[in-house]
Chains A and B, each alone.
Chain A
Amino acid sequence: MSVPRLLDAGEAALVVEFGNTVDPTLNDRVLALDEALAADPPQGLRERVPTYRSLMLHYDPLVLDRARLVDHVLRLTGSAAARTGAATLWTLPCCYDAPHGEDVAELAGRAGLSAEAVVAQHAAATYRVYMYGFAPGFAYLGGLPEDLAVARRASPRPPHPRNAVVVGGGLAAVATVPMPTGWYVVGATPSRLYAPERAESFFVEAGDAIRFEPVDAATFDALVTREASGEPVARRGLAT
């Protein structure tokens, strides 16, 4: 297996780069090192940020010398080629109906499909959580059916509501924080991938899998209430 490239991002961050494509095998190597460092962290390592194809390590260079960090990383990449922890499959309720699936018709037009086919294909797929980025709890999901892989809009649409389920550029995402976006809003989930006041503010880890289970608007509203009361509506494992 190839040795990762080590790139400095200033004197307090090191990028361990395994490749430069969006690929599950590559992402597994990133997550294997992430896991190994979580189990055996050198003193002075502050944060680990997994991405599609690299792991960024933020460190305190007054505590952890770069050379020592590099030795530690190379030792672990030599021994920890595969992930040992099991990825969790999460089922998130998703309402594709009005008023939540704002852009389903537009996306259907772009993809040359019916609105029903867009929803059916989106809900049938199992997605891989590659990484977080962009905003708190914004999860980038791979595994979007090819028929739904349309380019993002050239100019952003107005801000979407919280916890929008979006697609764009061949990827899917859950967009937790309202923002203008070039992605297409196909629905909304009552599940909060990010809830700062919750004891476990984030519960989905990079490497986990996600499926979306269609619910109607009335069920969505009921689930929002349940989620707000502190009872999580995301379920571990497949929908029953």
Chain B
Amino acid sequence: MSVLIIEAAGPGITLQDGGRHGYLRYGFTAAGPMDPLMHATANRAAGNTLDAAAIEISTGGVTVGVEGGPLGLALASTGFRIALDGEPLPPAVALTLEPGRSLVVRAGDTGSWGYLAVQGRLDLAPVLSSLATHTRSSVGGLDGRGLAAGDRIPVADGRPGERAPHRLVAPWLDRAPDTVRVVLGPQDDYFAPDQVAAFLGGPWTVSPRGDRMACFLDGTPLKHARGHDIVSDGVAMGAIQVPGNGLPIVLMADRQSTGGYPKIATVIGPDLGRLAQVRGGAQIAFRAVSIADAVAARRGEVKVLCSPAAREPVVRTDFAPDFLLGLNLVDGVTDGRPWEHTHW
């Protein structure tokens, strides 16, 4: 049996499958990926079911190795810096990790989350039929906690992938981060029309203190028309609540199942990942769409995820100046391992 070895891990690295569904009525949040589309993309590239358990990688970064035999991996990210034993790879890549080698994933200039799926099944005991980690209640994944150096994750039915790394073709992951689509409500009537307009237009600055539970927004505080306390009701992922200080909070994967602040709008499912990927300090605005538009966007996601997984060999497509200066002739291109010197 292959074993995935966590050689180094920053904070906030967890195992996530499609989520622990069916227990919201008992106060138990589903957890699951912050960027469901990217999580599914990694699983699809690894040949898994779209909701299989994968490693969710925060900007803290992770280094993994493998024991017991070569193991195929699919990594989906945008803007993360990936290296296999020091050789740079594209941010979305399929590769085979051999024992003794290390795959290093580090945050780059953009993107907050990446996903690493294995060709095989992470062989851990599920809790309530799910491996999704919810650290606040110490449930799921590995002992209900984030991954740490020294952790060993057994992989059942592990298999190698193609020998040479391949770039994943997934243009749908390149989502413009500036405008996030919402459906207004359920409590938009707690705000006057000019405040709803102010909410949509923003701009809002994403606070760096966000986590898997919530995305905090800074900007001009909104005014409530009818107070800021409501009798608690249900909270969907992507619900945007406005507490007493007027600054919106978008409730994400690890949110509580119910809450007592008015929710001015709800991020549509297909844009949850778009928002989750925005780094602290960046600015966003919102755009209200109809239910029909939101459902159409969902259909679009299903369509791309149902299409055959496309990949292309890693070839040198960009020559960094220092690389060109150091090159005597073009013979470096033909050394048989073109990805070795690639700069991305």
Contacts and interface: CB of A to CB of B under 8 A. Distances in A.
Contacts of A13: 234, 236, 266
Given A10-B266, A133-B258, A202-B26, A66 B236 contact: no
A86 B231 CA distance: 26
Given A49-B258, A51-B258, A62-B298, A137 B28 contact: yes
A11 B233 contact: no
Interface stretch (A15-23, A90-98, A210-218): A15-23
Interface of B: 21-28, 127-128, 136-139, 182-183, 185-187, 230-236, 238-239, 256-259, 263, 266-269, 291, 294-295, 298-299, 302
Contacts of A134: 27, 256-258
Interface of A: 7-13, 15, 17, 20-22, 46-56, 58, 61-62, 66, 131-140, 177, 179, 194, 196-197, 201-202, 206
Contacts of A201: 23, 26, 128
A162 B185 CA distance: 35
Contact of A7 (B136, B187, B298): B187
Nearest to A8: B185
A194 B26 CA distance: 9
Contacts of B183: 8-11
Contacts of A9: 183, 185-186, 234-236, 239, 263, 266
29 contacts: A7-B186, A8-B266, A9-B234, A10-B238, A10-B266, A12-B236, A15-B234, A46-B21, A48-B25, A49-B234, A51-B233, A52-B233, A53-B231, A53-B233, A55-B234, A56-B236, A62-B298, A134-B256, A135-B256, A136-B27, A136-B28, A137-B26, A137-B27, A177-B138, A194-B28, A197-B127, A201-B26, A202-B26, A206-B25
A135 B137 contact: yes
A139 B26 CA distance: 8
B27 A135 contact: yes
A194 B259 CA distance: 20
Contacts of A46: 21-22
Nearest to A178: B138
A66 B291 contact: yes
Most buried by B among A20, A22, A51, A54: A51
Given A7-B186, A62-B299, A22 B231 contact: yes
A137 B28 CA distance: 7
Most buried by B among A10, A132, A179: A10
Given A11-B268, A49-B25, A133 B256 contact: yes
A11 B127 contact: no
A136 B20 CA distance: 12
A202 to B, nearest CB: 4
Most buried by B among A53, A54, A62, A136: A136
A64 B235 CA distance: 20
A58 B183 CA distance: 15
